[in-house]
């Protein structure tokens, strides 16, 4: 898979930008603040429907403008006659997000079907240290890259949850109205959990091996954390039918609490992931370097899973990650990506390092754009 053209309008510091990435390794170099991370952020947004640096889309709109748009052309194979045209836009006043594939509206998350991206950036530490919402979003994004249909379930689940919470806020006499919402929540929710569990187990398997290869000490493990699985033991053998039954029971048991708090207190929207080194929770016991290596291993695992499941290589984005790695790890990580068809890396200080370490043609693009 290859991104062959990117056009930005009013995205961050770019009023207009046309970028034609090369095949192989593209290094984007430029001084601090020239927009290197913004450029990768726009590609990531197109492929996932959200930013890896910001929770709020309005922050991505260029100061003084009222919308941004990102257009990309993607070619998946040589036999594909015309590239896919992807377009993401956000209108600030209406708070409207629009995503189109070949001119037709679709869910923003569906970008993952055409442009699966994996990013490595200083923000990766948040995968371990950040709030649960970031980990859920990461896992759902990987699931969507493997099964694009997941985006539809997530969207549907959010809609049902909104309705259920609205009903809970109304208070008394809602019991009979609740049931249909519960059934829909259970149906979509159990599919979501089942897919998450299956992708997480592959991610952990791959991540553990890569963590070892990268010289990490200790054994990396992880788990899904959910009130739907009260003892945690059910996780091992949970399939979709089992998730459905457990979710139904948990929802029933939590009903009076939900009514008191006027909100749905459990379900995939409240779940989390935990990572452990030798059984110790990575958030509290691992050094920053170890946490970074865990995140890096999981991301490399993500690229492998996409390549295996979709027979489609993801576009790899490296945002200044090399400045944070020591010499040995830098070349090990580069080796991991040599085989990928397209890698776009940013650096403020280009020293030719990439080309030497990775026997690939390296193309260099200089960004000298400052805010207009
Ligand atoms: N919404 C926005 N509108 C206009 N400019 C913005 C907006 N958001 C961020 N910027 C500007 O974009 C500039 C470039 O940011 P970016 O993070 O891409 O730089 P960079 O090239 O990655 O720098 P570094 O080498 O320090 O990582 C910053 O100077 C920032 O002030
Ligand atoms: Mg940057």
Q: Which domains does the chain have, with CATH numbers?
A: 1-116+312-372 (3.40.50.300), 132-310 (1.20.1050.90)
What is the average pLDDT score of the chain?
89
CB 24, CB 338: distance < 8 Å: no
Q: Which atom of ligand 1 is nearest to the CA of 346?
A: 22
Residue 370 is predicted with a pLDDT of 40
pLDDT tier at 220 (50, 70, 90 boundaries)?
A: very high
Q: What is the pLDDT of residues 41-79, one digit of tens each?
A: 999 999 999 998 877 999 999 999 999 999 999 998 777
State the DSSP H helix or E strand holding residue 221, giving kind and residue range, or none if neither.
strand 220-225
Query: Which ligand has the shortest distance to the CA of 31?
Result: 1
Query: Which ligand has the shortest distance to the CA of 347?
Result: 1
Tokens of 348: 């403020």
CA of 35 to the centre of ligand 2 (A): 7
pLDDT tier at 92 (50, 70, 90 boundaries)?
A: very high
CA of 60 to the centre of ligand 2 (A): 15
24: pLDDT strictly greater than 60: yes
Q: Which atom of ligand 1 is nearest to the CA of 63?
A: 3
CA of 31 to the centre of ligand 2 (A): 9
Give strand pairing partners of 189: none
pLDDT tier at 371 (50, 70, 90 boundaries)?
A: very low
Residue 341 is predicted with a pLDDT of 85
Q: Which atom of ligand 1 is nearest to the CA of 62?
A: 3
- Write b or e for each residue in 250-268: b if 16 or more Cβ atoms lie within 10 A of its Cβ, otherwise e: bbeebbeebbeeeebbbbb
Q: Which atom of ligand 1 is nearest to the CA of 65?
A: 3
Q: What is the pLDDT of residues 110-129, one digit of tens each?
A: 999 999 999 999 899 999 99
Q: What is the pLDDT of residues 294-341, one digit of tens each?
A: 999 999 999 999 999 998 889 999 998 877 677 777 777 777 777 788
pLDDT tier at 23 (50, 70, 90 boundaries)?
A: confident
Among protein residues, the one with the nearest Cα to ligand 1's atom 29 is: 33
Long-range contacts of 57-62, Cβ-Cβ distance < 8 Å, separation of 24 or more: 57/90, 57/95, 57/97, 58/90, 58/92, 58/95, 60/11, 60/12, 60/90, 61/10, 61/11, 61/90, 61/92, 62/10, 62/11, 62/12, 62/13, 62/14, 62/15, 62/371
Instruction: Give me the residue label for tokens 């309008």.
Output: 9
Q: What is the pLDDT of residues 193-208, one digit of tens each?
A: 999 999 999 999 999 9
Pocket probe mutation, ligand 1, options 10, 13, 348, max atoms within 8 Å of Cβ = 13
CA of 188 to the centre of ligand 1 (A): 39
Residue 362 is predicted with a pLDDT of 59
Among protein residues, the one with the nearest Cα to ligand 1's atom 12 is: 13
211: pLDDT strictly greater than 90: yes
Among protein residues, the one with the nearest Cα to ligand 1's atom 13 is: 33
Tokens of 116: 């699966």
Give the residue, 273 or 335, on which the prediction is more confident: 273
Q: Write the DSSP symbol of residue 110.
A: G
175: pLDDT strictly greater than 80: no
Q: Which residues surround ligand 2, an ion (CB under 5 A)?
A: 36-37
d(C-alpha 364, C-alpha 29), whole Å: 7
Ligand 1 site residues (CB inside 6 A) read 12-13, 30, 32-38, 59, 61-63, 320, 348, 371
Q: Which atom of ligand 1 is nearest to the CA of 371?
A: 5
């Amino acid at each position: 898979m290859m991104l062959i053209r990117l056009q930005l309008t009013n995205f961050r510091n770019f009023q207009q930008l046309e970028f034609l990435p090369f095949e192989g390794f593209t290094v984007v170099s430029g001084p601090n603040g020239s927009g290197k991370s913004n450029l990768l952020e726009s590609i990531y947004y197109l492929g996932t429907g959200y930013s890896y640096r910001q929770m709020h889309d309005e922050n991505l709109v260029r100061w003084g403008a009222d919308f941004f748009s990102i257009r990309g052309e993607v070619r998946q194979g040589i036999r594909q006659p015309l590239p896919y045209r992807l377009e993401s836009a956000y209108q600030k006043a209406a708070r409207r997000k629009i995503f189109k594939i070949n001119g037709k509206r679709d869910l923003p998350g569906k970008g993952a079907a055409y442009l699966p991206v994996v990013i490595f950036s200083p923000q990766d530490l948040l995968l371990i240290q950040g709030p649960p919402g970031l980990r859920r979003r990461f896992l759902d994004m990987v699931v969507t890259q493997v099964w694009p249909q997941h985006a539809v379930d997530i969207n549907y689940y959010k809609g049902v949850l909104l309705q259920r919470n609205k009903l809970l806020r109304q208070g008394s006499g809602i019991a009979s109205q609740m049931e249909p919402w519960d059934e829909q929540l259970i149906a979509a929710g159990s599919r979501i959990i089942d897919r998450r569990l299956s992708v997480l187990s592959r991610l952990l398997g791959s991540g553990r091996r890569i963590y070892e290869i990268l010289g990490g000490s200790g054994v990396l493990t992880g788990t899904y954390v959910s009130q739907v699985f009260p003892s945690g033991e059910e996780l091992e053998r949970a399939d979709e039918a089992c998730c459905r039954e457990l979710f139904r029971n948990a929802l029933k048991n939590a009903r009076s609490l939900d009514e008191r708090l006027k909100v749905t207190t459990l379900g995939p929207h409240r779940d989390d992931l935990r990572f452990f080194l030798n059984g110790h929770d990575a958030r509290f016991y691992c050094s920053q370097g170890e946490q970074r290596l865990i995140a890096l291993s999981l991301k490399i695992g993500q690229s492998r899973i996409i390549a295996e499941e979709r027979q489609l290589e993801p576009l790899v984005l490296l945002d200044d990650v090399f400045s944070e790695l020591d010499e040995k790890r830098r070349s090990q990580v580069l080796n991991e990506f040599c085989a990928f068809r397209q890698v776009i890396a940013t650096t403020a200080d280009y020293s030719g390092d990439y080309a030497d370490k990775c026997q690939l043609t390296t193309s260099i693009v200089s960004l000298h754009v400052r805010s207009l």
